[in-house]
Amino acid sequence: MEGIDARGMQHCETTTLGVLLRHAGIDLSEPMLFGLGSGLSFLYWDSKSMGFPFLGGRVKPFELTRNLTAALGLELLVAETTSARKAWQNVAGPIDAGRPVGLQLDSYHLDYFTTKVHFGGHVVAMYGYDDQDAYLVDTEAQGGAVRTGLDSLARARAERGPMTAKHRSFTIAAPTAPSPREQIVPAIKACAEAFLNPPIANLGHRGIEKAAKQVPKWLQRSDDPGEDLSRTAVLMEKAGTGGALFRNLYRDFLAESAEVIDSDHLRTGHALYAEAAVLWTQVAALVAAAGEAGDPEKLSQAGALLHELSRIERDAMRELSML
């Protein structure tokens, strides 16, 4: 396809949304895409079947896309199937008609991917193919405009496991011109409501408080602390989060919103998330240092910062809920 703006951004789902929306004539910054999709969250997840706990900083895969397209009144067409043949038709058809397609898949199988770890919630934009390769847009860290073999793409789409979908593909159209400014406040309030009133204690500000209590025990929780803690720190800072477990992106969304909406609540929320972003980066550094040195004191310090972060983010979301 010609005329594709193949800009890689920091996060995979916002990168894909950026490609699809720009093709539809809508150009929004990555923080605005993330914020209008009410993308911020927190999850502390652990179970007997897991090798090590998982810290998540965003809503579950594809929820951001559903939130954003609903907010902007866009037409989101989603296809899922158990048939590999039908799955390919669902992709080749729109591309042949001149429309890029979003794909949810497992990044482990992609030829260009630098880290071979199974992640079934990865999202890319596809804008072309030939007899051997698919032409994709991934995050800036993964190379932006990239290609992978058709066989590897098929394996990535067919993988089953945590966070995977059944060959999910999607396209976006804009029947009418959206009004992003009008949707900023509803998106912020929806995100704040979910964060302040999570259905279980693993989510939102309650999840951060739970993490504060559990992180100091992580050296005992792990069979290989050096590997597990280092990987967790990298996931927090570099694995498509934009840094600070997505708090940098939300901070920048609030700053951009404050340029067009005059609100003390918004300015206070932005200031608090600017503070939180710094502390999350410090938490990641302490977790990494604890893994390298086997030092429980570093994890105790991280736990103390997480207690503070639970309070800061709760206060920020309370302010934002009053917009």
Cα–Cα dist 199/39, whole Å: 17
Give the CA angle between residues 200, 284, 29 to the nearest 5°.
80
**Residue 233 domain-assigned (yes or no):** yes
DSSP 203-241: BHHHHHHHHHHHGGGHHHH-SSHHHHHHHHHHHHHTSSS
Task: Indicate the residue among 111, 146, 173 that finishes a domain.
Answer: 173
The tally of domains found in the chain comes to: 2
Q: 217 and 150: one domain? A: no
**Residue 291 domain-assigned (yes or no):** yes
pLDDT reported for residue 116:
83
CATH number of residue 223's parent domain: 1.20.120
Q: 26 and 169: one domain? A: yes
What is the domain extent for residue 295? 180-321
Q: 143 and 208: one domain? A: no
Q: 197 and 104: one domain? A: no
Task: Indicate the residue among 149, 173, 197 that finishes a domain.
Answer: 173
Pick from 277, 228, 242, 264: nearest CA to 54: 228
Q: 152 and 32: one domain? A: yes
Cα–Cα dist 14/316, whole Å: 23
Q: 168 and 244: one domain? A: no
pLDDT reported for residue 117:
85
**Residue 286 domain-assigned (yes or no):** yes
pTM (2 decimals)?
0.95
- Residue 62 phi/psi, 5-degree rounding, is 80, -15
Q: What is the pLDDT of residues 187-245, one digit of tens each?
A: 999 999 999 999 999 999 999 999 999 999 999 999 899 999 999 999 999 989 999 99
pLDDT reported for residue 177:
85
Q: 315 and 232: one domain? A: yes
Question: What parts of the chain have a pLDDT lower than 50?
Answer: none
Task: Indicate the residue among 129, 147, 173 that finishes a domain.
Answer: 173
Cα–Cα dist 153/164, whole Å: 14
**Residue 235 domain-assigned (yes or no):** yes
Q: Which bin fits 134, alpha (ψ -120 to 50), beta or left (φ > 0)?
A: beta
**Residue 146 domain-assigned (yes or no):** yes
Say if residues 312 and 226 touch (Cβ distance below 8 Å): no
Cα–Cα dist 139/184, whole Å: 25
Lookup: tokens for 118? 């199974």
Q: 223 and 92: one domain? A: no
**Crossing angle, helix 264-293 and helix 225-237, to 10 degrees?**
160
